[in-house]
Structure 1
Amino acid sequence: MTWEPIVLLGLAGFLAGGSFSLWKTSRIASIVLGVVTVAAAVGGVLWAIR
């Protein structure tokens, strides 16, 4: 296993926290950040099982 999937999963966690904290102030930015979070998490998982 390489380090790239671990970095992507860590990034997804960081982005999820940002999305959660933005929810009360800017819902659109929070949703966009949530979509990027899901993309990073899926990419990390798919890269890890490849």
Structure 2
Amino acid sequence: MAVALFIVGGFLVGGVVQLVRSGATKFSVGLVGVLAALALAGGVAWLLPGDS
């Protein structure tokens, strides 16, 4: 599952780069950026050891 979250985060980071290059609104760049950060943080959290 962590790999899938990292892949989604990578796509979203690429989307942020493309949105900035195309001059999109700050809201859309921020929204996609927050989603990318959440996906990457979820991938890291999935890898952390814990009780299961």
TM-score of the pair, normalised by structure 1:
0.83
Larger deviation: 31-40 or 19-28?
19-28
Q: Sequence identity, in percent?
A: 30
The one-letter amino acid of 1:33's match is V
Of residues 9, 13, 22, the one that matches 2:10 is: 13
Matched, 1:42 2:45: no
- Root-mean-square deviation (CA, aligned residues, Å) is 1.0
Unaligned ranges ≥5, structure 1: none
Runs of 4+ aligned residues of structure 1 deviating over 3 Å after TM superposition are none
State the structure with more CA Rg: 2
